[in-house]
Every structure is written in structure tokens, then in C-alpha cells.
Amino acid sequence: MDALRADRSTAPNSLGAAVGRTLFIGGEIYRVSSYGAKHPLAIPRVSTVMDLSRALGWLPDDRYLESPVATPAQLARFHAPDYIAAVQAGEREQALPDDVRKRFGLGELGNPFFREMFRRPATAAGASIKAAELLLDPGGPRIVHSPAGGTHHGRPDRASGFCYFNDPVLGILRLLDGGVTRVFYADFDAHHGDGVEDAFVDDDRVFTLSIHETGRWPRSGALDAQGRSICNLPVPPGFHDDELALLLDEVVLPCLTASAPEMVVVQCGSDGLAADPLSRLALSNNGLWRAVRLMRREADRLLVLGGGGYNPWTVGRCWAGVWGLLNDHDMPSELPGAARAVLEGLSWRRSAGRNPPAHWFNTLADPVEAQPIRGEIREIAAVAMADR
């Protein structure tokens, strides 16, 4: 893998070459699959990002790959075979015996039975595994974006937090199996990346960093839950772009630099955006885009995943913008008609969907507003870096 680092540093115009070699992994399954009408994941997300990116001219065919479906053998690199079999049976039968349901966390409110309950998460897992294989190839892409990924709560033997399989873990394991010795995992989801942290808590090859809302489910990732290869930054409600920028500069970048990773994996959950219903954070998509730009600037090879995000307009615009910045496209101040049509075709059962603001249809970037940085955020940064 050191050869990859040398290749980037010696190639002429190496940054341009790295940025230019990007790949988007998507899937048509997300266009027809839903967790159920009342579930937060009833909304279209990946398909919206695909359609919006194509409408903007950002996703030509040679940059797109239809995701493979992970096989049970591939999933078993992290997940228990009997659990995998239970998810398959749940898809096939749309029911499981009560003891099996309770044992594996299946058929619950957050992790319901639905028509593609094995194929959909196995497709997201297949994308992360395939992305890792492509990034391991010296002649492959340097940046891969898989917005269907980021299911960071999945456990080896049970579903958790809408996550049946843990695709970030499976992707990182594939990198490690391929000879990578240092991976930096940055999680910007509003919810703590507990499944990924726990998977690598005893593996110094993987540094896990999570910025998440304090007290939010799964109520893990406390500020005192730090380690040599773990950094947790639980932030208060109202956390905004300027506060994120401070943590990026004073904690995330120093941790990334010190870990000297060969690969960087970013979980880019958009549920910390101000208009998302499942958190009380106040980020704009500009803040998340800055985080991704920082990761891209520092990474030799980069895997960018999705994650949470439960407002169809904010998640679609955010992740389309992520793909745009990974390809150095300028963010349009006003969307062309084809892109507006994608956003105008969305609907949302929540009250905010009845009268959406105009910028959800007309532009990608959220309005920017400078805000004061609270002392609490500075204290979080100080504590996190105290013993590093």
C-alpha cells in the first residue's frame, strides 16, 4: 500500500488525477424498495441522488457502477451465519418465529420485515466490499462514493437502528484483508457509529472517529469514551457549521494526520442537517461538504458512504453535492429545470413536506449563516485532544 502513496506523490498533477478518478456505486433496487410507508426510510434517497446527479450532468455512464449483492459468504466475514440465514428467511417468509425475531432484532419497529429486507442491505454491503476491492487496485479509482452505505449500527448477530448488515465494517475488513495496515474512519452521522467502533475496538489498524449528538440513540460514544484509536465527539443540540469547522480543524485533522492512514472511509450521514426529523442538530449541507473536502484533501484513497438522512430534499441535495465536490464541480446557484423536476417530484408525509421552502427545489446549497462558537464545543475539543 505504500506504493499507492508514492504513486500519488510522484505522479504529475497528482491531485487532479486523484480527483478525476472517481466512481459512483448505486443501485436500481433503491428505486423500488421501502422499509414501509410509516418508516423513516420510506423516502427515496439513493435514487434521488442518482437522478439529481444525472440531471446536473455529473454522472456519466463511465463513472457509474451498479452495485453487486453481497453473498452470504461475504457477509459472514463479519456477520454470524445463522443471523444471515434469518434475514434471508425473513425476506422470504415475511415473518419469523418470535424467539428468532427477538434473538436477532428482526421484525421490530426500526428493523421491520419488508420485501427486500435481505437484498437491499446486502446490496449496500456489496457496494462497500466492491468499493474496497476497487480502491485496493493500483489502477482503480482513487475515490468511490456509495450513498447507500453507512449502515453503521449493524451488529454481527442482530439488526440495530435500521441497519441489518454493517457495510462500513465489511468494507474496512476487505481493505485490511487486502493488506492495508492503517484505516481512518470518520463518522459524521447524528447518531454514534457504535457498530463500527465496537468492531475495531481492539484493532489498532483502524482509527474510528465519530461526531454525534449527545444523548441521542444509541446513547453511546461519550466524551470520556476515548482510546488510542478511538475519538468520540458528542455535541449538543444546535450544533452548527462553525462549530463543526472548529472540531474539524482542532480534532479531526490532527487525529487523521497522526494516524497516517493509507485509506480513509467517511460516513456522511445527513441526519445532522437542520431540517432532519431525527436529530436536533443545526448543520447545513455546506458544513458537511467542508468535512468531505477535508477528507478528500488528506486522503490517498477515499471511500465516501451515506448514512442517516430522513428528509428527502435535504438528503438528496446533500449527497448529490458530495458527489459534485468529489468531482470538482461548481455548485450551481440555481438548478436547471431537469434537476428542479427531480426535487419537485418528491413528497414527504411529515408536516414539513406540506410547504417546503423554495431553496429545497431551486438550489443545492443551504443558506449560510455565521454563528458564535459555544464554549462547550471548545471544551469538547480540548478534552478529546488532552492525551493525544
* pLDDT single digits (tens) 327-370: 999 999 999 999 999 999 999 988 888 899 999 999 999 999 89
Burial of 346 (0-12, 13-18, 19+ CB in 10 A): middle
pLDDT digits (tens, 9 = 90+) for 24-42: 999 999 999 999 999 999 9
* Cα 283 to Cα 288: distance, rounded to the nearest angstrom: 8
DSSP helix/strand/coil, 128: helix
> What are the phi and psi torsion angles at 194 (to 5°)?
-65, -40
Domain annotation covers residue 292: yes
Are 142 and 303 in contact by the 8 Å Cβ rule? The answer is no
Give the angle 231-233-238 at the CA atoms, nearest 5°.
165
Q: Catalytic positions, please?
A: 153
Residue 1 has pLDDT above 80, yes or no: no
Measured on CA atoms in the order 326, 328, 331, 335, is the torsion positive or negative?
negative
pLDDT digits (tens, 9 = 90+) for 131-160: 999 999 999 999 999 999 999 999 999 999
Domain annotation covers residue 98: no
Residue 162 has pLDDT above 70, yes or no: yes
Look up the domain containing 155 and give its range: 2-69+119-385
Q: At 51, which helix (H) or strand (E)?
A: helix 46-55
Domain annotation covers residue 174: yes
Considering the chain, what percentage of its residues have pLDDT values greater than 90?
Answer: 91
Residue 232 has pLDDT above 50, yes or no: yes
Residue 5: the pLDDT is 33
Mean pLDDT (whole number) for 309-331: 97
Kindly list the distances between the CA atom of residue 381 and the CA atoms of 27, 57, 206, 218, 376, in Å, as whole numbers in the listed order: 38, 40, 21, 22, 9
276: cell is: 432532519
Mean pLDDT (whole number) for 313-335: 97
Residue 12 has pLDDT above 80, yes or no: no
Considering the chain, what percentage of its residues have pLDDT values greater than 70?
Answer: 95
Residue 349: the pLDDT is 87
Domain annotation covers residue 269: yes
Domain annotation covers residue 63: yes
* Cα 223 to Cα 208: distance, rounded to the nearest angstrom: 14
Residue 169 has pLDDT above 70, yes or no: yes
Kindly list the distances between the CA atom of residue 369 and the CA atoms of 108, 244, 245, in Å, as whole numbers in the listed order: 40, 13, 13
Question: Crossing angle, helix 46-55 and helix 312-326, to 10 degrees?
Answer: 50
Domains in the chain: how many in total?
Answer: 1
Mean pLDDT (whole number) for 297-320: 97
Residue 66 has pLDDT above 50, yes or no: yes
Mean pLDDT (whole number) for 226-242: 97
Residues 6 or more apart whose Cβ sits within 8 Å of residue 323: 24, 49, 53, 58, 59, 145, 147
Domain annotation covers residue 113: no
- Nearest to residue 298, comparing CAs of 147, 151, 186? 186
CATH number at residue 45: 3.40.800.20
Q: Is the pTM of this model over 0.85?
A: yes
* Cα 309 to Cα 269: distance, rounded to the nearest angstrom: 6
Residue 9: the pLDDT is 32
* Confidence band, pLDDT 50/70/90 cuts, at residue 81: very high
Domain annotation covers residue 242: yes
| Identity at 310, one-letter amino acid code | Y
Are 165 and 305 in contact by the 8 Å Cβ rule? The answer is no
Domain annotation covers residue 180: yes
